[in-house]
Amino acid sequence: MSDAPAKRRGRPKSKPEDAGARQALIRAGLEHLTEKGYSAVGVDEILRSAEVPKGSFYHYFKSKADFGAQLVEAYHTFFVGMLERSLSNADLPPLERLRAFTLEAEAGMARHGFRKGCLVGNLGQEMGALPEPFRDQLVAVLTDWQERTRRCLARAQSEGTLARSHDPGQLSAFFWIGWEGAVLRAKLERSPEPLRAFSDQFFRFVTS
């Protein structure tokens, strides 16, 4: 009888290269979906871009819908980092923090020639063709961005730079409805002008 220990059965442990391949797929997915949208991009295109073997996709994701949901989560994490860099900047007054966000977002779009938009906005435009669970996920993400902005506007109000006549919650909702439309238009026109037109009017309104 052999003295060698019996091999354990079960799912093999994840290898470092697994995490690297998964991240490559996430990066490629974000790259393609922010430009083309969910319906226009196939799994094969993502695999080629990520340089991951064709048979590997379903090792990391249950389906394209699962992949899309994880892309939304990854994009949300990235976007919150950018948003909070501005909204938590104690060196700026609260309203200037929100303006700083719009400028950083514009610079990010400009780096890609205004070919890439907001993943959440893009998917919202495609909702009729997406699995229904996406709806709640996208609404939750937008609600989170809106709440972070509401807190910033409430701080501006407490410091006296935003009039008491404004409702920070409604104003935050108004900002995100308008901003997402401006991003879509900027992508369509390949121009920063829609972003600037919206932000200029928004800040003129809140400071008048």
- Residue spans per domain, the chain: 64-207
Task: Compute how many other C-beta atoms are within 10 angstroms of the C-beta atom of residue 98.
Answer: 24
Rounded CA-CA distance 111/186 in Å is 13
Q: Which class is 64-207 in CATH?
A: mainly alpha
Output the pLDDT for position 9: 44
Under a CB-based contact definition with an 8 Å cutoff, are residues 28 and 50 in contact? yes
Rounded CA-CA distance 86/92 in Å is 9
Output the pLDDT for position 18: 61
Output the pLDDT for position 4: 43
Rounded CA-CA distance 131/13 in Å is 31
Joined together, the tokens standing for residue 177 give 């409805």
Joined together, the tokens standing for residue 188 give 């369509």
Best CA proximity match to 75, nearest among 145, 8, 20, 163: 145
Output the pLDDT for position 175: 98
Output the pLDDT for position 196: 98
Output the pLDDT for position 12: 39
Output the pLDDT for position 24: 93
Q: What share of the chain is helix, strand, coil (3-state, %, to 5)?
A: 75, 0, 25
- 148 secondary structure, DSSP code: H
What average pLDDT values come out for the chain (208 residues) when binned by 10 residues? Answer: 41 50 93 91 91 85 93 96 97 98 97 95 91 94 98 97 97 98 97 98 95
